[in-house]
Amino acid sequence: MISTENVSFHYTAGSNVLQNVNLQIKDGEFVAIMGENGAGKTTLVKMFNGLLKPTVGSVLVDGVNTREKSVAQLSRDVGLIFQNPDHQLFAETVREEVAFSLRNFGFKEDIIQGRITNVLTTLDLDRYEKSSPFVLSGGERKRVALAAVLAWDPKHVVMDEPTIGQDYLQKDHLRNFIVQITSQGKTVVIVTHDVEFVAECKPRVVLLSHGKIIADGPAAEILTNPQTLQQASLVMPQIASLMKNLKDFNPPPNIIDAFSAKAFFSGKLKGRVAAGAPTQRR
Amino acid sequence: MDSPIHRLDPRSKFILTIGFFVSALMFTNIIALLVIFFAQVPGIVLAKSPRRWLRSLRGGLFLFIFIFVMNVIFGTPIVTALAFAIRFLAIMSAFSFFFMTTSADDLGLALEQIHVPYSISFTFTTAVRLVPTMAVDAQTVVDAQRSRGLELDKGNFMKRIRNYIPILIPLIISAIRRSVELAEALESRAFGASEKRTAIVTLKMRIADYLVIVATIIGLGLAVYVYLRVPLPNLVIPIQIPRLF
Amino acid sequence: MPAIEAKKLSFTYAGGEKPSMENVNLSIEKGEFVILTGPSGCGKTTLCRCLNGLIPNFYSGELKGELVVDGLNVEGRSTAELATHVGFVFQNPENQLFSLSVERDVAFGLENLGVAKEEAIERVRWAMEATGILDLRNKAPYELSGGQQQRAAIAGVLAMRPSVLVLDEPTSFLDPKSAEEIVEIIAKLSRELQLTTLLVEHRLDVVSRYASRVVVMDNGKIALDGTPREVYNDKARLIGIGLPKVTMLFHLLRSDGFQVTNPITVEEASAELRRLLTQ
């Protein structure tokens, strides 16, 4: 479990980037931390692996205060994947790039080679094994960065803005991938402001604004509340807006994705056909 | 930051700085050098920057002591050695004062207006503009690699040096990528299109600037006069440091 | 005469094995607002770079075919020359701001072109007002938010009075609200100034309402070209572009057997559903 107790943080005294943040993320949960640029989302997740220590309050990872462990020790359990893969790629081959992390954590060489092969296969990168990471496309480089972190199998995986610059298919793969690792019991935390992506994944959503948590709950609840969304500079997912416009038709509350919406409207329309309304069917 | 000094044209301020520089080089007499050093204080006060100035002096403390000690070891009389150290401080302080009270923007403009080739003044302004950006990049790279288990503070000397490779390479590559993007954008804004570049903002010398230049000339004249004509008392501290060399 | 006319345009980057863009035929009339979209690597950025001369001047390679922009054949013309006809706004706001103040940055292009001081000052003021950043004129680029930085970039491009505006994923780094604001500004400017606008975007839900035309590229070729309603069909979905969610909903209803239209905005979808449920 990752928990923050009354955490406040400032770089310079007088301007708090985070204020009184109380958050608990259980093992295996899938959480999206959302909010406007500058709300403090990245600052918050940097506390999960000890890169930043709170000015006030404590962060506990699996029961241990982050002040008592080094970043390397904490990273063994909390894998943080940064937004821009170019900030970490440096090796001559993709294989070496993934090996770097494993060597840092002290894995034995024969185990390292095996793990690299596994993770590259999982992420569909095996054909690039001997390529230089620098010649790969943007999306492929993002996957290499992901592989480099997953290779050491951290219990908790934190991704900072994983959907920026990705096209629809890439986001689809990412979504499926997250489903896969959460089913394996990993905790997944994503920092994002992509409401449509979150509407499709339906994680727990924590909204940050100006360093404070202003909402915390299931995606379907949070993404349908216009006031809190407005405060966090987010927009309502299209389906949620649609359902609001048609609330006089009594849809079930908090529908935010196209499939659930279709189920509802399909039912209603079929009902009307059955009642003799002149809706044509092919 | 704003003050009468900050608002002065960088060109007049630079002339003033050179004035202090040249006067300091002229003298080895400790009294003269102390005068030159403290003559900068009214300017510092007018610029509302006493604390920043003192901090910059603290940066020069090591060299100050080094110069003093080295001179004494090689046989220079104590007072003269002190004078040399104070001369260094006076020069450092004068340049520090210039950069403290001149924004990078104004500096770039000044370079353009004294007809430094545009490619040079542009490189300068861009470098300054990129400093905060690259600083953030550097911190991000360090954070990202630490999050992969890289420990920068462990290991022997050789290991620590090697540990900086995963920091330097992404930084350099990020810098190159950024430069390419900047270059594309520059081209798209017609960079280099015309030999005759116009500028919408120009620096104008005002009365205060001319006064500063006149004051500098007078000050320099005074310094030359004192150097040539006025016998300054030679202070001596009668302590004999055993000659080591 | 069309504002942009490409005939059999193909380009292979130096060292590339196959063309990044192949046999592109595209004709865009003056004042049209066109969305250019497609999966990563489909050639949209390559096409944009041809419009202002970055290809082949900055990016070397083999360029074949014909391209006429704003009445000029781009062949043999430098980017500097084309800059007064085609304005280019890039993805990353940080890397297209050069000066230490917004005002000087907006003036940058004009200064490069040697435009007379008085005229430059007036054009800069106009551009900053048009993009709503007049009050930010003295701020440094790093002090601005992403949305403000992109507005400054757009102002800097507008000041050069191009007749064609190309924007390559300008909302990528912006939060949803800023993204909507920027697209609204772009649409407004495009309308008021009669600018031919080519907007490359993945976020079709935000931009569809403003465009009269969508061009979808796939594997270097143009796959679809028409109004948003025409283009957001099954083929588009198969190519893998992210259709607006309400459009997706209607695709699902259609596959359930209902005969429905193809709305592209929430308003259209709401109206259509309301009609269907009450008739």
**Subunits with 3+ C-beta pairs closer than 8 A to A:** B, C
Query: How many separate domains does chain C show?
Result: 2
Structural domain contains residue A85: no
Give yes or no: residues A2 and A50 share one domain: yes
Q: pLDDT value at position A46?
A: 95
Distance between CA atoms of residues C272 and C260, nearest Å: 8
- CB count within 10 Å of CB B134 equals 14
The larger pLDDT score, comparing residue C10 to residue A38, is at: C10
Query: pLDDT tens, C17-51?
Result: 899 999 999 999 999 999 999 998 899 999 999 99
Secondary structure element (H or E) that encloses residue C132, with its range: none
Between chains, do C245 and A272 touch, taking CB under 8 Å as contact?
no
| Domain harbouring A161, CATH code | 3.40.50.300
Cα of first residue to Cα of last residue in chain A, in angstroms, is 53
Residue C61 three-state SS: strand
Looking at residue B76, what DSSP letter applies? -
Distance between CA atoms of residues B205 and B56, nearest Å: 28
Residue ranges of chain A whose pLDDT lies below 70: 273-282
Of B150, B169, B173, the CB nearest to A104: B150
Instruction: Give the β-pairing of C4-13 and A212-218.
Output: unpaired
Give yes or no: residues C115 and C212 share one domain: yes
Tell which of A180, A198, A222 closes a domain.
A222
Distance between CA atoms of residues B194 and B162, nearest Å: 47
Helix runs in C77-175, H state only:
79-82, 102-113, 117-130, 146-158
Q: Residue B111 corresponds to which tokens in the numbers above?
A: 């370079």
Give yes or no: residues C153 and C276 share one domain: no
Q: pLDDT value at position B243?
A: 64
Residue positions counted in chain B: 245
Q: pLDDT value at position C39?
A: 93
Chain A residues with CB inside 8 Å of B173's CB?
86, 89-90, 134
- Which domain range does residue C131 map to? 4-239
Residue A160 three-state SS: strand
Chain C residues with CB inside 8 Å of B200's CB?
103-104, 107, 110-111, 117, 120-121, 124
C85-108 in b/e form (b: 16+ CB < 10 A) is bbbbbbbbbbbbbbbbbbbbbbbb
Between chains, do A171 and C241 touch, taking CB under 8 Å as contact?
no
Q: Cα dist. C164→C97, C107, C238 in Å? A: 20, 19, 31
Give yes or no: residues A107 and A172 share one domain: no
CB A268 within 8 A of CB A279: no
Give yes or no: residues C111 and C179 share one domain: yes
Q: pLDDT value at position A72?
A: 94
Beta-carbon contacts of residue A85 (< 8 Å; ≥ 6 apart): A141, A142, A144, A145
Residue type, C228: P
Q: What percent of chain C has pLDDT over 70?
A: 100
Residue B199: closest CA among chain C residues belongs to which residue? C111
Q: pLDDT value at position A282?
A: 45
Q: pLDDT value at position B193?
A: 87
Give yes or no: residues C19 and C75 share one domain: yes
Give yes or no: residues C175 and C279 share one domain: no
Structural domain contains residue A86: no
Mean pLDDT, chain C, integer: 93
Structural domain contains residue A89: no
Q: Residue written as tokens 């545009």?
A: B118
Give yes or no: residues C167 and C181 share one domain: yes
Give yes or no: residues C50 and C151 share one domain: yes
Q: pLDDT value at position B44?
A: 87
Q: pLDDT value at position A189?
A: 97
Average pLDDT over residues C83-91: 95
- Which domain range does residue A268 map to? 237-282
Distance between CA atoms of residues A257 and A23, nearest Å: 26
Closest residue by Cα to residue C171 from A189, A194, B134? A194
Structural domain contains residue A16: yes
Chain A residues with CB inside 8 Å of B146's CB?
51, 71-72, 75
Query: How many separate domains does chain A show?
Result: 3
Q: Residue B210 corresponds to which tokens in the numbers above?
A: 């001319």
Average pLDDT over residues C208-233: 95
A190-218 in b/e form (b: 16+ CB < 10 A) is bbbbbbbbbbbbbbbbbbbbbbbbbbbee
Give yes or no: residues A190 and A67 share one domain: yes
Distance between CA atoms of residues B200 and B213, nearest Å: 26
Closest residue by Cα to residue C105 from C146, C147, C149, C168? C149
Structural domain contains residue A228: no
Structural domain contains residue A83: no
Give yes or no: residues C262 and C220 share one domain: no
Structural domain contains residue A250: yes
CB A150 within 8 A of CB A119: yes
Between chains, do C156 and B189 touch, taking CB under 8 Å as contact?
yes
**Phi-psi category of A38—alpha, beta or left, where left has phi over 0 and alpha has psi -120 to 50?**
left
Structural domain contains residue A148: yes
pLDDT, tens digit only, all 245 positions of chain B: 678 888 889 999 999 999 999 999 998 888 889 999 999 998 888 888 888 888 888 888 999 999 999 998 888 888 888 999 999 999 999 999 998 888 888 888 898 888 888 888 888 888 888 888 899 999 999 999 999 999 988 888 888 898 999 999 999 999 999 999 999 999 999 998 888 888 888 888 889 999 999 999 999 999 999 888 887 777 777 666 666 65
Give yes or no: residues C188 and C252 share one domain: no
**Subunits with 3+ C-beta pairs closer than 8 A to C:** A, B
| Domain harbouring C139, CATH code | 3.40.50.300
- CB count within 10 Å of CB A19 equals 16
Q: What is the distance in angstroms between the Cα of B176 and the nearest Cα belonging to chain A?
A: 11
Of C100, C115, C124, the CB nearest to B129: C100
Closest residue by Cα to residue A242 from C202, C213, C181, C252? C252
